[in-house]
Amino acid sequence: MHDIAPPPDGVRLWPPGEPPTTFSFGGGWQSTAALVLASRGELPIDTFVFANVGDDSENPATLAYLREHAVPFARRNGLRLIELHRTRRDGSVETLYGRLMREGSRSIPIPVRMSNGAPGTRSCTADFKIRVIGRGLKLQGAGPENPATVAIGITVDEIHRANSRRGDPHERLVYPLLDLGLRRSDCPRIITSAGLPVPPRSACWFCPFRSVPAWQDTRRNDPELFERACRLEATLNQRRRLLGRDPVWLTRFNAPLRQVVPTDDPLPLEEGDGSCDGGWCFT
Ligand code: SF4
């Protein structure tokens, strides 16, 4: 998807000396509500940056929403919505799914669940979101002397996700939706009040932080994508078997996805999405 291209090399979006100010756009409820608030002048931000971890990795429904609704809305309202990708030295785009499936890869960049349900260490958010946005801001003149302001779409009901990471010296993280006292449940009202439909859940379709109801949704409404996730889980475990390692899972139930995601009612006691800290994903 290239309809929201980054500025060409050398083109500055902010006047020299003015620190870049942007919103980390995750494609979900909070980011879209922020876009609407900005269109009304209730959020003093005119530039939103979406770090796309890959057209083969993001929730396909999120990418469709972005193309059909968010980008045209931003354009109509004089806002910039810029899409950035992780690129290799030769300029080619690297996607998260591509890295996961790379032949001979020994490490797993996503927070797969161990046998006790705990997520393993991940590098996906740092490599495919935080550094991608950071690099874009540095190209726009951000530095320790001129730090960029990056707004993160965390709402008051998810306050525990804020401040879990100190910003790099070239950026300062702010949480404007917290300042406005907004809850995640306020977002649909804000979004629909601008005539926009409510966006689908944002996150990678294979993210181990997804809730069982979200997996169940996928199984019911996009069985092909669900099968792809099952195959991905199996591929990761096939590799780990060869290395003599324990299996890992895409849910916290220590069993294959196909077994733990019901085809009927959701499992009881299942909390919602968003165990991902930091607010770079699921916003
Ligand atoms: S949504 Fe999940 S898998 Fe995707 S980048 Fe965020 S933490 Fe990683």
21 C-alpha to center of ligand 1: Å? 24
Phi, psi of 146 (to 5 degrees): -135, 60
Give the residue, by CA position, lying nearest to ligand 1 atom 3. 207
Site to probe by mutation for ligand 1, drawn from 99, 121, 125, 133 as the one with most ligand atoms within 8 Å of Cβ, is 125
Q: What is the pLDDT of residue 166?
A: 61
The arithmetic mean of pLDDT across residues 71-94, rounded, is 95
The arithmetic mean of pLDDT across residues 162-176, rounded, is 81
Ligand 1 atom nearest the C-alpha of 125 is 5
17 C-alpha to center of ligand 1: Å? 34
111 C-alpha to center of ligand 1: Å? 8
Give the residue, by CA position, lying nearest to ligand 1 atom 6. 281
Q: Above pLDDT 90, what percent of the chain? A: 74
Give the residue, by CA position, lying nearest to ligand 1 atom 7. 125
Using 50, 70 and 90 to split pLDDT, how confident is the model at 266? low
- pLDDT by residue (tens digit) across 49-67? 999 999 999 999 999 999 9
Q: What is the pLDDT of residue 2?
A: 39
Task: Look up the pTM and report it.
Answer: 0.91
Do residues 218 and 207 lie in contact, with contact meaning Cβ atoms separated by under 8 Å? no
Q: What is the pLDDT of residue 106?
A: 85
DSSP of 83-125: EE--B-TTS-B--HHHHHH-TT--S--S--B-TTSPBPP--HH
Instruction: Tell me how far apart the alpha carbons of residues 52 and 63 are, in angstroms, rounded to a whole number.
Output: 9
Instruction: Look at 75-79, 125-129, 141-145, 194-198 and tell me which has the smallest mean pLDDT.
Output: 141-145
Pocket lined around ligand 1, Cβ cut-off 6 Å: 53, 110-111, 122, 124-125, 128, 203-204, 207, 209, 276, 281
Instruction: Look at 51-65, 131-145, 267-281 and tell me which has the smallest mean pLDDT.
Output: 267-281
Q: What is the pLDDT of residue 201?
A: 87
Higher pLDDT, 217 or 34: 34
Q: What is the pLDDT of residue 95?
A: 98
Q: What is the pLDDT of residue 275?
A: 54
Q: What is the pLDDT of residue 197?
A: 98
Instruction: Tell me how far apart the alpha carbons of residues 196 and 188 are, in angstroms, rounded to a whole number.
Output: 9
Evaluate if residue 174 carries a pLDDT over 80. yes
Instruction: Tell me how far apart the alpha carbons of residues 281 and 259 are, in angstroms, rounded to a whole number.
Output: 26
